[in-house]
Structure 1
Amino acid sequence: MTQPSTRGRTRAIASNLIGTVLEWYDFYIYGTATSLAFGALFFPTASALAGTLAAFATYAIGFVLRPVAGVVLARWGDTIGRKNVMVICLILMGVATGCIGLLPTYAQVGALAPILLVLLRLLQSIGAGAEYGTAVTMSAEYATPRQRGLLSSIPAFGVSLGILLGTGVFAALSGLPREAFLAWGWRVPFLVGFALVVVGLYVRLRVDESPEFTELRRSGTVTRSPIRELLTTHRGRVGLAALARSTDAVGGQIFNVFAISYCTSELDMPAAPALTGVLIANLVGLAVIPLAGRGADRWGRRPVFLTGLLLVAALGFPFFWLLQTRNPVLVVLALVLTYGIGVKIALSVSGAYLAEMFDPRVRNSGVNLARSASDPLAGFTPLIATALLAAAGSYWAVGVFVVGTALASAAAVFASPETRSADPAPERGEMSAASESH
């Protein structure tokens, strides 16, 4: 297989980074707007709690569609190429995000407003369905074996950058009077999405197809039925991988989305401390992610992955204890420890872990299916956490949810094989036999 040039590898990694920045910028600003504005703007006839639940329900709807979109687009990634799918994803995400910023509100068009919001949310989710998983696949296939952990963490780095960008925009708008924010301020972050998609397309269209998919196409071994082939030979690994990455899915929503709502609605705090905490946690994550990726190259995927997951489990209740103090410094500390360190370690290592679990013929489908299987849980996490808080009357039920998820993920990683090796296809022979049977 021909190795890519340094320039080609750099261009591909930059493309993967930009795409995940846009994806997580999109989803973060939607989640933050849900916490701060959408209940009042799109569901004004409901009570405060009911409006928040309704707004979070529209947030969750997008994650329900992601598995379907992820499977369809990921299949194309294994049949027509990784690059083509990534271009499609970028266009869908960017256009949908920008259009949300142009939506009329309930006061202007009545019930049509939430309907349009849901439709654009669904379009946004279709684009995001295979973005991150395909970026991980491309990064792993452009990496050398000794750098696969590090380079496969680049999409996770993009997650932090996207959230930082979204947080920074909202932080800049947080000084607006409430009336001005609801009138026009909330639209600004979404309209920025139009600019991001233009930049992303400029970079992405100049990227060559991944070396491993190019080799598959050259040799005529591209599979026509990647999902069937995947589920025939790697069904167990799909399940383990999905459970293993569920903590970064749930943790991202608890610590980035629900925490803001909890601080503002339950603790009667201004939004600034929580937004600042998310900002600093993601800044810390920019250092943690490459260190964890490098550590996974040196010590293996499992020990580093488990370190992040067990840290999240250990901090599940202390996180809420720190929030309960209402001390801005301790709120920031809580978010840095749980999300900036614990979740980011797990997210960083999951890139190489997922890619190395599957043969190149079905890798894009495997990575995306594993991620998509736990996406509905992620999407409903703010809704679940809000409902648990209301039912229990205290944070302890949400703490149990966080700790239980982290321990389940740790069990899955413990049960999985160590995937670090020079060959990222641990079951190549098995997969080849399966392909011959089709």
Structure 2
Amino acid sequence: MENNSMKKVASASFLGAFLEWYDFFLYGTASAIIFNQLFFPDFDPMVGTIAAFGTLASGYLVRPIGGIVFGHFGDKIGRKKILAITMMLMGGATFLIGLLPTYATIGVWAPVLLILLRSIQGFALGGEYGGASLLLIEYAPRKQRGFWGGVLQSATPLGSLAATGIFAIMASMPESFFLSIGWRIPFLISIVLTVVGLFVRFSIEETPAFKEVKESGTEEKFPLVELFRTYSKNVWIAIGARMAEGISFNVFNVFVITYVTSHLGLPNSLALIGVSISSAIAMLLSPIFGKFSDRVGRKKVYMIGAIWFTIFAFPFFALLDTEIGIVIYIAIALGYALGTTPMFSIQSVFFTEMFGTRVRYSGLSFVYQLAGIVAGITPLVATSLLVLNDGNPLYVILYIMGMGTITVVSVLFTKETYKFDVAEQEKAALENINIKENGDV
């Protein structure tokens, strides 16, 4: 593919992924800062935060359903069409959250509608991740997949940066304005971003890999069934490998805000700035880790992040407990940059290379979203563990270390894919069979 075309595909994939993650992380930031006051005002502040994190988790619970549904059709009718649908669903739900009446206006219906819209967000994101990843990775040159996958993944911290950044601006406004109108603005502007994203995505063609499958008439009738029939071992290994990445993201982006504000009693702007700084660093490092994986392998880079996340749990909370601004910034940045980033920067390409072309959308979506349930309930679990242990983070630390260990062990069982992935192995095997059948051995 010509370089200009690759840049065009990368731009479309990146913009779409950024918009989806902005919408999704916006909710997480609001849950940590304001939703307890607006939708659960009758609860104790910490209990209200737990309830708000419960609605946050609802989005993660339906993501596997979205992954199965959109993965199925993405493997049958193509990546591009499904991505347009997921973007419209996500953008529409986010916009409506910005219009939602609060508990003071409509009572219990406010949190009910909030959960419904959050679930639509999760359903949409269930299909977005796999499709956006494949749209770029299946276009990318073989020896540059890690780099381009890392470029796409940098849209995730950029989405988090944009969400926390604009919320920090709104939160700095007078409290009366923030509680009435300010918190809604970040949600409402998503509709403009959605329209722009749809226009860009419609400008690119379907991926060459899927075109080849479609033209040969070899697409699977039931991709998910074939996925488990052929790649069941890879599915479960990838789910285990995904645990630390998903949990780390919610620890360093969502739970840390609650810990710093509600537990330590520090200004919410302190935590938001810390998350914004770490997101900016991660955005820059993601393509670098991706490129590094093109040279030394996916497995080694992923393992760096998994091990760091596991061993950094104790130092992380010790640094936060100093209650010193610059030290808190360093703690969040170290956790995010060296723990989360090496994993998520190459995760999409690493997992993509574990599955054949005909079931990749289903495989990538199912693995990412099923493991995402654990990631999604992490702020809820961590906050509950903190309350259960009278504010001592020991149980949270043990939870982090346990999940990190699961990922380290899972990665040990993976096979390296950066030189020769599953789809290429299958193609080589098929060609060998054809040669023997033709008597050309």
**TM-score w.r.t. length of structure 1:** 0.95
SS of 1:159 mapped into structure 2? helix
What secondary structure sits across from 2:357 in the alignment?
coil
Corresponding residue of 2:417: 419
Of the candidates 357, 373, 393, which is equivalent to residue 395 of structure 1?
Answer: 393
Alignment pair present for 1:123 and 2:117: no
> Which residue is 2:72 aligned to?
75
Superposed, which structure 2 residues align to 1:249-268 within 5 Å?
A: 249-268=246-265
CA 1:125–1:431: 2 relative to 1, 3 Å: farther
Structure 2 CA distance for aligned equivalents of residues 141 and 398 of structure 1: 39
* 1:75-108 C-alpha deviation (Å, 9 max, x unpaired): 1110000111111111100111011001111111
Q: Secondary structure at the match of 1:304?
A: helix
306, 312, 324: which is aligned to 1:309?
306
Q: Is the 8 A contact 1:419 1:426 kept in 2?
A: no
Structure-2 residue corresponding to 1:380: 377
Selected match of 1:410 from 408, 411, 425: 408
Query: Does 2:66 match 1:55?
Result: no
Alignment of 1:115-194 (within 5 A): 115-194=112-191
Query: Are positions 1:24 and 2:21 aligned together?
Result: yes
1-structure distance, mates of 2:117, 2:171: 25
Distance 1:354 1:432 in 2: 22
Q: Tell me the equivalent position of 1:436.
A: none
Q: What is the one-letter code of the residue matched to 2:234?
A: R
Q: Aligned residue for 1:237? A: 234
Q: What is the CA-CA distance between 1:335 and the residue it aligns to? A: 0.6
For residues 173 and 71 of structure 2, what CA distance do their matches in structure 1 show? 42
CA contact (8 A) 1:284 1:341 kept: no
Specify the code of the residue in structure 2 equivalent to 1:402: I
1:208-223 alignment runs, 5 A limit = 208-223=205-220
Q: 1:96 aligns with which of 90, 93, 97?
A: 93
**1:178 Cα deviation from its structure 2 partner:** 2.4
Q: One-letter code of the match for 1:428?
A: E
Pair 1:199 & 2:196 matched: yes
Tell me the SS of whatever aligns to 2:358. Answer: coil
**Does 1:358 pair with 2:355?**
yes
Partner of 2:345: 348
Cα deviation, residue 426, structure 1: 5.5
Instruction: Output the CA distance in 2 between the equivalents of 1:429 and 1:198.
Output: 39
| Mapped partners of 2:237, 2:263: distance in 1 | 36
Q: Which amino acid aligns with 2:409?
A: A
Per-residue deviation, 1:44: 1.2
Deviations 1:304-347 (A, max 9, x none): 11011111112111111111011000110001000123201111
Equivalent position of 1:38 in the other structure:
35
C-alpha contact 1:233 1:430 (8 A) present in aligned 2: no
Alignment gaps of 5+ in structure 1: 434-438
Letter aligned with residue 401 of structure 1 = Y
Shift of 1:6: 3.1
Counterpart for residue 434 of structure 2: none
Distance in 2 between the 1:250 and 1:78 partners? 28
Instruction: Letter of the 2:354 partner, please give it.
Output: M
Residue 331 (1) aligns with residue 328 (2):
yes
Partner residue, 2:293: 296
Q: CA deviation at 1:424?
A: 5.2
C-alpha distance in 2 between matches for 1:292 and 1:355: 17
Match among 110, 133, 141 for residue 107 of structure 2: 110
Alpha-carbon distance in structure 2 between the residues aligned to 1:176 and 1:82: 42
| CA–CA separation in structure 2 for the residues paired with 1:45 and 1:174 | 22
* 1:207 maps to amino acid: I
State how far apart, in whole Å, the 1-side matches of 2:429 and 2:30 are.
Answer: 45
Instruction: Judge which range, 65-74 or 22-31, deviates more.
Output: 22-31
Cα root mean square deviation, aligned? 1.6
Q: Is the 8 A contact 2:293 2:301 kept in 1?
A: yes
Structure-2 change in CA distance of 1:260 and 1:175 (3 Å):
same
TM-score (norm 2): 0.95
Equivalent residue for 2:270, pick from 250, 260, 273: 273
- Paired letter, 1:300: G
Q: Distance in 2 between matches of 1:221 and 1:96?
A: 36
Residues 359 and 431 of structure 1 are in contact (CA less than 8 Å); yes or no, is this contact kept in structure 2? Answer: no
Contact 2:40 2:51 in 1 (8 A): yes
Equivalences, count: 430
Q: Which has the higher mean CA deviation after the structures are superposed, 354-363 or 337-346? A: 337-346
Q: Does 1:11 align with 2:8?
A: yes
What's 1:428 paired with?
Answer: 426
Instruction: Determine the structure 1 residue equivalent to 2:438.
Output: none
Work out whether residues 82 and 210 of structure 1, in 8 Å CA contact, stay in contact via their aligned partners in 2.
yes
Percent of aligned pairs with the same residue? 38
Give the partner amino acid of 1:337: L
- Choose from 282, 285, 288 the match for 2:282: 285
- Does the 8 Å CA contact 1:245/1:409 hold for their aligned counterparts? yes
